[in-house]
Amino acid sequence: MKKIKNNFKELKTNLKMSWCFVREEKLYFIILVILSLMLAGLSFIIPMLSAQLLLKLTDGLLKDLMLVAIIIFFIEILRNVILYFFRKIFELYSIKATTNAQIKMFEETLKIKTAVIEDNTTGMFIDRINNDTEDIINTFSNLCSVFINMISNAGVFLAVFVINKYMFIYFVLSFIIIAVIENKRNNIYYERTKKLRLIDEKKTGLISEIVRGLQDIKLLNAQSGILKRTRRQLKDINDERIGIVKVTSNFQFISGSVSDLFDVIFYALGCLLVYLNSLTIANFVIIYTYKSRIENLLSFYNSFSMHVRNFNLSATRVFEVIGNTFDKESDKGKNINRINGKIEFKDVSFAYSKDNVLNNISFTINKGERIGFVGSSGSGKSTIFKLLTKLYSLNEGKILIDGEDINNISNKTLRKNISLISQSPYIFNFSILDNLKIGNLDASNDEVKEACKKADIYDVIMDLDDKFNTFVGEGGVMLSGGEKQRLAIARTLLKKSNIILFDEATSALDNVTQDKVQKAIYGLDKDKTILIIAHRLSTINKCDRIVVVDDGNIVDIGTHKELYKRCSKYRELYDCEIV
């Protein structure tokens, strides 16, 4: 009883929260409720007329029988017309409400902190956005429909009570006993389904990874290993599904057998009451007609109970993303139209887990400076960029831009004014033009062309059949590594940020193209602050200053000539490259 109470308490909370998806389509929702009530009313009338049909037949009143049959015929036609509109409107409502839910899920997923996204599988978010949102909307509607049917059929109980109290007691007892059995089944089904969805998330994540890594799987000749892992994952899912089927089948057998037993009791009790003159044959026929309605009521109750559990499960999974279960970025802070570009790190320390990646580092970069960052792999260079763009939060210290703590600047302002080009920029499965304009939808065609020319990608685009309208495939699969990076550079130039971060952005380019891109970088407006991470030290020796990072510490800062003379770490890195 306590578990049922908790389920309905949870249902109440989830229904309130789900209303935000439905209210934009409330006109459809209201129409559906009205149509459901009309269907419920007709469902109440038809069995009563059917009972009259039987009475007229047994009394030999054939004219009256035909009149009742014609009335039932027209009511059935009306019912089918209402059903037609109900299904049509329901499909429109379901599609629009599901879209609202999925858009809201996308919005909230974009707010989740980078560290949280990296700690979870992509399958978890994909399943919740695609499947659980649909389940919420469908179940929300089904709950309303089933609830209305329950109310319309509950009137039959009252009718039986008026006709014969003994038959009423029989129906109540049989209803309670079968409901207890079904409720037990639903509880087990809920727990098993909960587990199944978690396994399903892992499967979705695995499939997503396999599709993205298809080329590497082939090159590594790893088909057998991947298939083995996939089979194991699918076996876990199938084992859980088989377990659910077994539980469901066992309980269906038990409830079916109990129902059959109650059928025998029904006929025996009816005959006994007729024999004792406590029930007329005509009334027994009417109660017999109502019997299927009462069984439907039990079926509706079971469906309602199952829908409540499915709804609560899906809603919980969705509202974990929409709510505060996952840490989210706060967009509180000042909205600044323009950032000039002065950057200060003051005693900054950071760790992804236990060990510090950065140790109490401090440096200042003035507006318009070109600053290079060098160091061994894993020394903390890329982490500096991630902290500057607020992809991760500081453990200690402060980062200031134009004298303002970045924690006091909104994410929207910060990321509008800072652009980052990474080692492996993500290119979306859009057209080249859409990829270029994703950070600046208002960019003109001339601005797009100019940015592409500066990034040395314009001629490549113009050689394609559809030019700027060419679709590049998922992850930019139709482009080479160098072309993807140059496209990303052009995309960044269009964004017109005053701070530009290059994280190994020229690593996939040949020497000739690299030289062209370097000229484009150094040829940018002198007011722009540019930070460059590079393993090829030749690409940054023209920087105003170079920061040497080693094991999370700032070893030295200076020009190429200064560092080569006095910094052994820098000299070691530079000499290794020459060799």
Which tokens is 185 given?
A: 């089944």
The amino acid sitting at 267 is Y
Look up the domain containing 467 and give its range: 343-578
Residue 57 lies in a domain: yes
Q: Is residue 226 part of a domain?
A: yes
Q: Are residues 290 and 350 in the same domain?
A: no
Shared domain for 318 and 352, answered yes or no, is: no
Residue 209, pLDDT score: 73
CB 549 within 8 A of CB 374: yes
Q: Is residue 573 part of a domain?
A: yes
Q: Residue 283 belongs to what H/E stretch? A: helix 281-322
User: Do residue 356 and residue 271 come from a single domain?
Assistant: no
pLDDT of amino acid 147: 66
Name residues whose C-beta falls within 8 Å of residue 371's C-beta, 6 or more positions apart in sequence. 365, 529, 530, 531, 532, 543, 544, 545, 546, 547
Backbone torsions φ then ψ of 202, nearest 5 degrees: -65, -40
Q: Are residues 268 and 392 in the same domain?
A: no
Q: How far is CA 243 from its chain centroid?
A: 27
- For residues 413 and 435, give the distance between their C-alpha atoms in angstroms, rounded to a whole number: 21
On whether both 386 and 469 belong to a single domain, the answer is: yes
Query: What are residue 507's phi and psi, to 5 degrees?
Result: -65, -25
357 and 220: one domain? no
Distance CA 139, CA 405 (A): 47
Q: Same structural domain for residues 291 and 384?
A: no
Asked if residues 171 and 157 have their Cβ atoms less than 8 Å apart, the reply is yes
The continuous run of DSSP H or E covering 347 comes out as strand 343-351
Both tokens of 333, joined, read 């802070």
Strands 499-503 and 418-421: parallel
Q: Do residue 246 and residue 290 come from a single domain?
A: yes
Is there a single domain that holds both residue 450 and residue 503?
yes
558 contacts: CB under 8 Å, gap ≥ 6: 545, 546, 566, 567
Looking at the structure, do residues 209 and 105 belong to the same domain, yes or no? yes
**Short-list 317, 305, 330, CA closest to 204:** 317
Last residue of a domain, one of 322, 356, 374: 322
Classify residue 336: in a domain, yes or no: no
For 491, residues 6+ apart whose C-beta sits below 8 A from its C-beta are 425, 435, 436, 438, 439, 451
Collapse the DSSP code of 401 into the 3-class scheme (helix H, G, I; strand E, B; otherwise coil) and give the result. strand
What are the structure tokens assigned to 143, written together?
């709950």
pLDDT score for 524: 66
Tell me, what CATH number does 360's domain have? 3.40.50.300
Give the pLDDT score at 185: 81
Residue 329 lies in a domain: no
The model's pTM: 0.68
pLDDT at 364: 92
Cα angle for residues 257, 261, 266 (degrees, 5° grid): 145
The domain that holds 66 is classified in CATH as: 1.20.1560.10
Beta bridge partners of 364: 344
**48 and 129 both lie in a single domain:** yes
Q: What is the pLDDT of residue 8?
A: 61
pLDDT tens digits for the chain (579 residues)?
555 556 666 666 776 677 777 777 778 878 887 887 787 777 667 666 766 676 667 666 777 778 878 887 888 888 888 888 887 887 787 778 778 888 888 888 888 877 777 777 777 787 788 778 877 777 766 766 666 666 666 667 777 777 788 888 888 888 888 888 888 887 887 778 878 877 777 777 777 777 767 666 766 667 777 788 778 877 888 888 888 888 878 887 888 888 888 888 888 988 888 888 888 887 787 788 778 777 777 777 777 777 777 778 888 888 888 877 788 777 787 887 778 888 999 999 998 877 888 999 999 999 988 999 988 888 888 889 888 988 888 888 999 999 889 888 888 888 888 888 887 788 888 888 998 888 888 888 898 898 888 888 888 899 888 889 988 887 777 887 778 888 888 888 888 888 888 887 766 667 776 776 676 676 666 778 989 888 777 778 788 899 999 888 999 999 888 888 888 888 888 777 655
SS3 percent helix, strand, coil of the chain, rounded to 5, is: 70, 10, 20
DSSP-based three-state secondary structure for 318: helix
For every residue of 493-518, DSSP letters joined together read HHHT-SEEEEESTTTTS-HHHHHHHH
Within a domain: residue 184?
Answer: yes
Query: In the numeric block, which tokens belong to residue 533?
Result: 């991470």
Q: What's the domain count of the chain?
A: 2
Q: How far apart are CA 85 and CA 459, in angstroms?
A: 56
